[in-house]
Amino acid sequence: MGREAIRIVEIMDYYKDLLAIKPLTQYGVKKIVDCLIPQVYNKACWISRIKDDNRTWLKLTDDQIYISKKAMDKQRTIITGWPGSGKTIVLIHVCRQLAVQGKKTLVVTFNRLLSNKISDELKGTSDCKVFSFNKLCTEYSEEGVFTFCIEESLRNIVKQNKLSEFDVLLVDEGQAISEESWRLFEECFRDKKIVVMCDDAQAFGYENSVNLAFLESLMNVKAFLLTESMRMPKAVCEELKLFSTPDYSVINRREFEKDTLNRVVTFDQSEKLKKAIARLLSDGIAKSDICILKPAKVTVPIDLVPVGIELENIGKYRGLEKPIVIIYAPSDMSQTDFFCAYSRATSRCIVILSANHIQYGDYGELGRLIYKKDPERVKSLAEKGLLKNKIFSKHSGLKFNLEIRDILNLYWCEKWNSYFFYSEKYPLLQELILCHLEVTHIDGIISWTDRSLNHFRVSGNKNITLRSRVSDYELNNCSKCGCEVISDFGCGNCDDNFSFYDMICSKNEIKNRFSKIINIIKGEETLSKESKNNISPFLSASLLVMNKLDDFIKYEILSIINKADNYITKTIIIHIFYLIFNNKHNKDILIINKSVIDFVKRCSPSIRNELSDASIAAFVSNSIVFLESSNILKKIGKGKFVVIIKVI
């Protein structure tokens, strides 16, 4: 060590003693190292990186130029490839080259968003018209508005030779157009050029779509394959293979940058979405560079998304891209949803996932990967997000008075002027009694399913019958005072005489009814013959559960019946499991349709009184099929099933 270095150490030691500075912890050392040598040293900000990505990667490659030339030479061309491989760029390039040759071109896309994008790219290109499929049928239909049978509209257009002005047909996202429509296009452009871009990995189950093999057969050509995917960051491109495994080598020459893909696991997806947007905007990223993608049936609160940021359904965003993509993932997010959404990002992809859904096996391979990496963190976050923990936390602002302490606890909430009931130890019984309260219309009691994140169930809806689907109400905030309220009901702060029940029953009467229910399922109240005949199927099911309580708890039946979407199926599943547990010592446990029907009729006379024999048989059959699809039963003959789970 040199003289200067020795002197520096002496000075540092002097001031360390003078100021009584404690020795640095490992964390303190890391903080100093991070300040002196930051990991992001010399890395450009996101604004610069977005500009650089657009300039570097969103341009024609040698492969794309080669295939464009082939498309110009051939009468029929199909181009396929991994997302981001440049299929739409090739289509636009081919269209411009055709215009130079004086060809009149019809470009068809599957929706308006993509047709608008391609139209913008082709501005100034002569003899080229771009339509979404629906718009094409509207534009060339005699009625001016296409019929609900869209193939019929196209058939009339083709029959009347209304597309004869065009020399070439170009189609982007060709997999999203129906087989019948493709046959009509092929007939219409029989002696003319057709160029199709297709990726059948991005075909959604709800669409009347086609696959690549169909198009190759129809046009009698082999598709050209684009294998170089440059639009997406490398980290995104690699993770894409979790959702669809390619049968060819995908090339991505971009540098691997870990921060281009962020998986956010949380118990509050809305809050994380809000924070992610705020962080991006604080970094100076333009709103026009951000897009939030979600499945079609999922609603994202509009107040979470600032004006200027796109919020769009995943299926509608195929063929498009954004520098920053945020994916809002519900529990039933399909692999196709993930595949399509991830691949829209050109600079950064942020996917917001529910810890609760990961814990319970949702999100496919991605969910399993995250859970395997850190199961304890996932479990901890999932527990925080459960509605039962939100309600009873000190932050909810709700105060509860315990009115009944038993196998089911009953609470009174003054603020909401209503009863709550809950059971930490017996959530299956809680669900069954909740169903009983709903179908028997006992007013003024609120509860929730054991794994509910944000949805309540409220008894007293007179429209609910045994045949009804199970419905719930969401926890929201009052638009006036901001306090937590249940959707479709008023606010305890802002509404006079607010209540969840109509005051026909007094508080004490509701409490007495609930107490009676507990006594019945515990076997402490004797029922008359008439009462037994009228007892609800859920009290019958509860009695079966109490009789085999250890078995029902052990095999987590609640997670199975919660997937059933109507009341009758829920109670029949309980009856089937009772038969399984009652015969668990047999080598092979058989479930026979007729035996289940007889057992349900015997144990639940109210079902027999409510439904015809044919209806009961249909519900039993549906319940057994449900358990078969859940890998509980396996069919071995007509009306005969064997139990394939281990029951000890």
**Per-residue pLDDT reduced to its tens digit, 105-124:** 999 999 999 999 999 999 98
Say if residue 358's pLDDT is above 90: yes
Question: Which of residues 186 and 467 earns the better pLDDT score?
Answer: 186
CA distance 412 to 391: 13
CA distance 258 to 203: 29
Q: What is the pLDDT of residue 146?
A: 46
| CA 279 to each of CA 103, 346, 519: distance values in angstroms, whole numbers, following the listed order | 48, 19, 55
Average pLDDT over residues 20-41: 69
Band of residue 349 on the pLDDT scale cut at 50, 70, 90: very high
Using one digit for the tens of pLDDT, what is the confidence trace for 575-603?
A: 999 999 999 888 888 999 999 999 999 99
What class is the 260-385 domain?
Answer: alpha beta
Mean pLDDT of the chain: 87
Q: What is the pLDDT of residue 178?
A: 93
| CA 570 to each of CA 153, 454, 563: distance values in angstroms, whole numbers, following the listed order | 45, 21, 9
Q: Which amino acid is at 420?
A: F
Of 21-25, 285-289, 440-444, highest mean pLDDT: 285-289
The greatest distance separating any two alpha carbons of the chain, rounded to the nearest whole angstrom, comes to 102
CA distance 46 to 170: 35
The residues, ordered by sequence, that sit 6+ positions from 343 with a Cβ below 8 Å of its Cβ are 83, 84, 231, 232, 236, 240
**Percentage of the chain with pLDDT > 70?**
90
pTM: 0.73
User: For 507, phi and psi rounded to 5 degrees?
Assistant: -55, -45
Minimal CA–CA distance to 348: which of 427, 250, 280? 280
Band of residue 19 on the pLDDT scale cut at 50, 70, 90: confident
CA distance 288 to 323: 9
Q: What is the pLDDT of residue 88?
A: 93
Say if residue 366's pLDDT is above 90: yes
Average pLDDT over residues 27-41: 65
Say if residue 613's pLDDT is above 50: yes
Band of residue 453 on the pLDDT scale cut at 50, 70, 90: confident
Using one digit for the tens of pLDDT, what is the confidence trace for 76-109?
A: 999 999 999 999 999 999 999 999 999 999 999 9
CA angle 550, 404, 414 (to 5 degrees): 130
Q: What is the pLDDT of residue 252?
A: 93
CA angle 74, 78, 81 (to 5 degrees): 135
CATH fold for the domain made of 59-226: Rossmann fold (3.40.50)
Of 215-219, 397-401, 526-530, 601-605, highest mean pLDDT: 215-219
Q: What is the pLDDT of residue 174?
A: 94
Q: What is the pLDDT of residue 466?
A: 60
Average pLDDT over residues 132-146: 78
Average pLDDT over residues 216-237: 95
3-state secondary structure 604-643: CHHHHHHCCHHHHHHHHHHHHHHHHHCCCEEEEECCEEEE
Q: What is the pLDDT of residue 309?
A: 96
Say if residue 286's pLDDT is above 50: yes
Domain with CATH 3.40.50.300 in the chain: 59-226, 260-385
CB contact at 8 A, 106 and 163: yes
CA distance 574 to 249: 49
Q: Which amino acid is at 152?
A: E
| CA 456 to each of CA 129, 134, 388: distance values in angstroms, whole numbers, following the listed order | 51, 40, 10
Average pLDDT over residues 211-227: 95
Band of residue 42 on the pLDDT scale cut at 50, 70, 90: very low
Angle in degrees, 0-180, between the axes of helices 507-521 and 427-439, rounded to the nearest 10: 130
By three-state DSSP, how is residue 79 classified?
strand
Average pLDDT over residues 188-203: 94
CA distance 85 to 202: 14
Using one digit for the tens of pLDDT, what is the confidence trace for 393-435?
A: 766 778 889 999 999 999 998 877 788 888 888 989 998 998 8
CA distance 423 to 544: 18
Band of residue 481 on the pLDDT scale cut at 50, 70, 90: low
How is residue 260 annotated by DSSP?
Answer: G
By three-state DSSP, how is residue 400 classified?
strand
Q: What is the pLDDT of residue 616?
A: 92
Q: What is the pLDDT of residue 503?
A: 47
CA distance 567 to 439: 8
Q: What is the pLDDT of residue 607?
A: 86
